[in-house]
Structure 1
Amino acid sequence: MTECSFLPVFFETHQSRKYNKPAPEYENFDSIENIWLNFYEMGKYEIYHFLYAECKDLDHFKQWLIALKGSDFLIRASANFQTWFVSKDNKGQNDGITHTILSEEQLLFWETQGYLKISGLVEDSLCDQVKELICSHMGVDLDNPATWYYERQDMQGLMLQLYQSKEIEAIRKHPHVFELFAELYQTRNIIANTEKLGFNPPDTDFWQLKQTALHWDIDLNKPLGYYIQGMIYLDDVPADRGAFSLVPGIHLQFEDWIKSFRNLEDAHIAMRAVLQAQPIAGDKGDIILWRHTLPHAASTNRSQLPRFVQYLSFSKL
């Protein structure tokens, strides 16, 4: 495994946090960590879980990486990260992207409403394969609702923290998905984030989804920036099947509005008192993208079948 200059920094920083010790000083650690994880195609949950629950030392960490990803992959990932790292301050902000996927009407809708639903970019067969992966991994039999509610360590609410499979990669690395994000970011200097999956079964008397409150995934202590969140429906999702929901257009007033609040929780309380979410129904393969300044949430699944999704996002390099 070729040594990467950031790997020991990453390890030592999290070891320090694990044992409540002062972490090494490293400029822009969080943003560089995010890019490093994406070159290595690692999900935060899986790598953090190992570091904080199982890891003995740096050599143990390296061996775990090799077992998970393979030496050849890690050599390529390390080289690609190092190439990016030494030139990261010289990247242009705009490539002059030509829009081949999005129409003028869709771009205007994106600017005014803050979200898009795009159909026909990803083959149904790829969606079916990820859906089958979720069922296999979780022991879900769609003909037996009793199997839909098993507790799993890697299942948090409706988020399935599963990242490593060729089925997930096929959508994450799909050229149409890349081009879609490139058009909205106006640059091809982007990299896919290693995102999770989602499984939302119907609510019952003994199981109810708790994470249905509108929210922002924003750290107010960091620059707001321009960030795009997204997901792909792996099966048809009518409005009552836990459809993703959001409040269109709020991004236009977010920066002025948020100044009135001391913290995000106060903003959440005020926002939830006055805003109503709109469910976004869709078909298999539909991709939903939204600006991170739109309040959004999952919705209660009141149908007879689970909802399956794969989350999608990219970071600028």
Structure 2
Amino acid sequence: MKRSVLVGSGSALPKNCVSNEELAKRVDTSDDWIRERTGITQRFLAGEGETTASLATAAASAALDDAGLTIADIDLIVLATATPDNTFPATATKVQHQLGGKGFPAFDVAAVCSGFLYALTTADAMLRTGMAKRAIVIGAETFSRILDWEDRTTCVLFGDGAGAFVIEAQDNAESGAGIIASRLHADGEYGDMLFVDGGPSTTGEVGKVRMKGREVFRHAVTNLSSVLSEVLEEAGCKAEDIDWIVPHQANLRILDATARKLGLSMEQVVVTVDQHANTSAASVPLAFDVAKKDGRIKKGDLVMLEAMGGGFTWGAALMRA
């Protein structure tokens, strides 16, 4: 069976790390207030010259190095972002050019915090059907550029960053490595619970993030536990077979509630929300790369990736590292 196998990962963060204490100097909030409600202690914010494309390029370059490959070995780039450099062209084409690539498909996927799962599943389908052999899949965001810094209920939650996978189509993947099963969902009925109040065809302006936190929390726990069960059933696995969950890093309470619904220990959950805050589409690959680099995720581990974002969109993918 042909599978999409992870052969490299990488990540990138802006230079500017902002602690809760520093943020409290410009926003009506406090370190205690943020920690108690979210688990966040700091975040990285893009500065002058740092963009979604530059962070994505750095993460992709690191993933290529990790895989021992160059851009000449790649024939597809799929980039997930809600904060592109421009309305068009696609940020993925900028990354392609900055890496020195040319000619092969490169496009963006917009599914907010679920974006990386959508991008990964899309690339996986293209690899398994022979449309490409190796792909770079990226999640990258500069959410700080669309935050209302006077709204303490949202601006304290987000950060900037990028993460990337290099995946390769392999026949009869060794030890069952690769993406085993995935599921994606969306429900536009709840689009007004987490959204940006602007856009090219409506206001003509970028807009700012708006969120109804309690409603998002409730739907997140329900939707994520449901899709995780779907993926496990498709893969013929049980929750106890999972070595690691790498979730979207939205809120420590959501991570804990989702783990408990599956009967898993928080010791099996990769948590980076305390260090990076919510980096939207970047959070899953960024968290995965951290856990891989520090030795937690090892070759052969069964890893569940999951996320939910505005739309609502949500999804999960089970893979053997």
TM-score (norm 1): 0.24
Greater strand fraction, Structure 1 or Structure 2: 2
TM-score (norm 2): 0.24
